[in-house]
Amino acid sequence: MGFKKDFLWGGATAANQCEGAIDVDGRGLANVDVVPLGKDRLPIITGKMKHLAFDEEHFYPAKVGIDFYHRYKEDIALFAEMGFKTFRLSIAWSRIFPNGDETTPNEEGLKFYEEMFKECKKYGIEPLVTITHFDCPIHLIKEYGGWRNKKMVEFYQNLVTAIAKRYKGLVKYWLTFNEINMILHAPFMGAGIVFEEGENEEEVKYQAAHHELVASAEATRILHEVDPENKVGCMMAAGDYYAYECKPEDVFESMKENRHNLSLIDIQARGYYPNYLLKEFEQKGLNIEITEEDKKVLKAHTVDFISFSYYASRVARAEKEELTAGNIFESVKNPHLEASEWGWQIDPLGFRITLNTLWDRYQKPLFVVENGLGAVDTPDENGYVADDYRIDYMARHIEAMRDAVEKDGVELWGYTSWGCIDLVSAGTGEMKKRYGFIYVDRDNEGNGTLARSKKKSFYWYKNVIATNGEDV
Ligand code: BGP
């Protein structure tokens, strides 16, 4: 017995990486729109830039994305052709509330997603909706300082209420924040944080994270109240840390890295702050404001399932001299593994290990909502991409996932591969780092017709779904 009969196979995207049309139908500007391609990208992601600027000198890939806003019908038809049972997408907050702090939602924004969900339903595709995927209206950053401000909880609740009511019966699966732990690594993308000179950055990050946690619990409450059929999940960037050597110091380091990475999920899944994190705040002198009321909300509204992205495992070592580049997570190079062109260490067995870790720790159903290989694809003279490297990566990961289900008894609801259609990379802002089964004619400089074509992996994944993961 492999995957259950109603296993949700599909693919994943995020609004800011594919929609484009950033100033259409009343949409406001968001943090992700002002992240340029190129050398200035990192300070902006990390929140260390001096000004929050939107200058014309830089190329901002989100402006056009892959023009999913205008082409989603064509794209969903292709997903249906592959046999998708689910499609993960995110809602651009600033389409629904252009500034973020309004009380009346923008009808055109609401309508856009409603039409998209109906299009999915036409093919029997279940939408899986990320409420915010690295996405925060610029106005909320300029006016309130992003998630460092507790008022954000209220604005987020307005968003959730509007979409929960409007999409009742159309959407059942919801994720509150994409990769919530990313806040600790990329605070501008994760929480709209721009640091001020001399402030305690760690304290700001954890305070913002706390506000997101409370907002996530409130969202869970609202979604359950509006429709008891709704299933609400948290979402994290997962990937276990191994000890570099079996010496206790390295093992201890890997234990610390693992729980550090899981800390926010511990709270969303269990409903309270773990002691190790409270002790860390104490030892580092971090003053995080957590009210009694917040504690009650966290406790009362834990998530129904755990979703996560998995791309790579990581390595921890007591002496950290050999850090790998490429990935936003610090990791020592693993001498036993190959890596992608961007240094992400390829580890299918690590996927099985991570699935087991999460299942053992939380005993809640899991949903893999991102996995895949970012690679440079070169179309042949007929425009065809024979992406055997991607097929190989995914086949080995799907096999490992099957082992976790079949041999280890992990409860798993579904799998959506990342970037099922080529889109803009979150980490680099490039088009050249592609993940899709569907090729999009668009390059880093913004050239190309945006035409879609099927890669070799398109046919391969179609067969994987048709055989419910048996034939990979
Ligand atoms: C995750 C994000 C996605 C996505 C993916 C791949 O962190 O949730 O938005 O882009 O990583 O990363 P990248 O685009 O940098 O290759």
* Structural domains of the chain, with CATH: 8-466 (3.20.20.80)
ipTM above 0.95, yes or no: yes
Is the Cα dihedral 329, 331, 336, 338 positive or negative?
Answer: positive
d(CA 81, CA 83): 5
Distance 290 CA to ligand 1 centre (A): 30
Q: Kindly report, residue by residue over 312-339, the tens digit of the pLDDT.
A: 999 999 987 655 544 567 788 999 999 9
pLDDT at residue 43 in the model? 85
Distance 138 CA to ligand 1 centre (A): 21
Query: Which residues are identified as catalytic?
Result: 370
Binding-site residues, ligand 1, Cβ < 6 A: 14, 17, 178-179, 237, 309, 370, 374, 418, 425-428, 433
- Closest residue by Cα to atom 5, ligand 1, is 426
**Residue from 301, 372, 355, 340 nearest 11 by CA:** 372
- Closest residue by Cα to atom 10, ligand 1, is 426
**Average pLDDT estimate for 180-204:** 95
Q: Kindly report, residue by residue over 7-19, the tens digit of the pLDDT.
A: 999 999 999 999 9
Averaged pLDDT score across all residues of the chain: 95
Distance 310 CA to ligand 1 centre (A): 10
- Closest residue by Cα to atom 4, ligand 1, is 426
Name which of 50-59, 283-292, 321-330, 399-408 the model is least confident about: 321-330
**Average pLDDT estimate for 254-280:** 98
Which atom of ligand 1 is least distant from the CA of 374? 16
pLDDT at residue 328 in the model? 65
- Closest residue by Cα to atom 3, ligand 1, is 426
Q: Kindly report, residue by residue over 421-449, the tens digit of the pLDDT.
A: 999 999 989 999 999 999 999 999 889 99
Q: Which amino acid is at 364?
A: K
Distance 427 CA to ligand 1 centre (A): 6
pLDDT at residue 55 in the model? 62
Question: pTM of whole model > 0.80?
Answer: yes
- Closest residue by Cα to atom 16, ligand 1, is 425
- H or E, element range at 49: none
Counting residues of the chain whose pLDDT is more than 70, the rounded percentage is 96
Q: What share of the chain is helix, strand, coil (3-state, %, to 5)?
A: 45, 15, 40
Q: Kindly report, residue by residue over 84-105, the tens digit of the pLDDT.
A: 999 999 999 999 999 999 999 9
**Average pLDDT estimate for 257-277:** 98
pLDDT at residue 312 in the model? 96
Which one of 418, 420, 421, 430 would you pick to mutate in the ligand 1 pocket, going by the greatest count of ligand atoms within 8 A of its CB?
Answer: 418
Helix (H, G, I), strand (E, B) or coil at 417: strand
Q: With contact defined as beta carbons under 8 Å apart, do 141 and 196 qualify? A: no
pLDDT at residue 54 in the model? 60
CA angle 27, 30, 33 (to 5 degrees): 100
